[in-house]
């Protein structure tokens, strides 16, 4: 399963694409609050002509929020799933200066020069710690001086007790939003997920050279965290 995860993830989101916008708001506890935290963490002036990269853009939820505030931004959206990208194009059709790429964000050879790299609920699909670390290093390389990276993502609990707590919160949220198939929905979400511990990820960011690393928001098994590149 692990080695084929990329194919599995692509398949899962190809299948989910049409319902994604209705389902994820119910599936992820405090999804909207987490997105607000991600967007609020962006430090630039509203009229700034920032270059933005949205990793695992899905149907374009994060880019839409960014475009609403930063209308002069120039955004690159990348996703594994062609269908998610097709829906993103429709959802974002009223906005200018957005490029769409279908591909794996870990292997894609991005040009340098981004002011902001964001990701939401995507990086935990990379199976190994090494791949996540490699991605964070690549992100650091393509960021401009004073550029920032923030990730909204699922995180791995550090022990069994906290794992059960996160799971219980996830199930409680499902029970509030769905009438049946709770275990099935929970299992199919878990099957494609390989989150890493938050504390480890913060250490990697520091090792790579990020500064002002911070957890902006956290609710049990999900968090918004990142840092700044200050190299001059």
Q: State the residues that interact with ligand SAM by CB under 6 A.
A: 9, 13, 24, 56-58, 61-62, 78-81, 84, 104-106, 120-122, 125
181 class by beta-carbon count within 10 Å (0-12 exposed, 13-18 middle, 19+ buried): exposed
91 class by beta-carbon count within 10 Å (0-12 exposed, 13-18 middle, 19+ buried): middle
Beta carbons within 8 Å of 69's beta carbon, 6+ residues apart: 39, 42, 46
Q: How far is CA 39 from the centre of its chain?
A: 12
Q: Which is nearer to ligand SAM, 6 or 215 (CB)?
A: 6
Q: Which is nearer to ligand SAM, 47 or 187 (CB)?
A: 187
Tell me how far apart the alpha carbons of residues 126 and 124 are, in angstroms, rounded to a whole number: 5
Q: Which is nearer to ligand SAM, 66 or 202 (CB)?
A: 66
Q: Which is nearer to ligand SAM, 56 or 147 (CB)?
A: 56
The string of DSSP letters for 99-165 reads: EEEES-TTT--PPS-EEEEEEES-GGGS-SHHHHHHHHHHHHHHEEEEEEEEEEEE-B-SSHHHHHH
Closest separation between CB of residue 64 and ligand SAM, Å?
10
Closest separation between CB of residue 231 and ligand SAM, Å?
26
Closest separation between CB of residue 107 and ligand SAM, Å?
8
Closest separation between CB of residue 176 and ligand SAM, Å?
20
Closest separation between CB of residue 128 and ligand SAM, Å?
12
Chain residue at closest Cβ approach to ligand SAM: 58
Q: Which is nearer to ligand SAM, 119 or 198 (CB)?
A: 119
């Amino acid at each position: 399963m692990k080695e084929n995860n990329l194919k599995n993830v692509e398949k899962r989101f190809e299948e989910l694409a049409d319902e994604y916008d209705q389902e994820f708001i119910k599936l992820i506890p405090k999804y909207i609050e987490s997105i607000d935290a991600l967007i609020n963490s962006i430090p630039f002036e509203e009229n700034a002509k920032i270059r933005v990269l949205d990793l695992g853009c899905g149907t374009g939820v994060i880019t839409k929020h960014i475009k609403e505030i930063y209308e002069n931004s120039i955004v690159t959206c990348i996703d594994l799933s062609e269908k998610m990208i097709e829906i993103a194009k429709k959802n974002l059709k009223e906005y200018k200066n957005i490029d769409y790429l279908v591909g794996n964000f870990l292997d894609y050879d991005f040009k340098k020069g981004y002011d902001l790299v964001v990701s939401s609920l995507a990086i935990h699909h990379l199976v190994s710690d090494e791949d996540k670390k490699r991605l964070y290093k690549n992100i650091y390389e393509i960021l401009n001086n004073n550029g920032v990276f923030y990730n909204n993502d699922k995180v791995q609990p550090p022990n069994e007790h906290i794992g059960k707590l996160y799971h219980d919160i996830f199930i409680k949220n499902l029970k509030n939003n769905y009438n049946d198939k709770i275990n099935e929905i929970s299992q199919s979400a878990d099957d494609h997920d390989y989150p890493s511990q938050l504390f480890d990820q913060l250490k990697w960011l520091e090792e790579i050279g990020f500064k002002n690393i911070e957890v902006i928001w956290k609710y049990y098994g999900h968090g918004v965290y990142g840092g700044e590149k200050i190299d001059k």
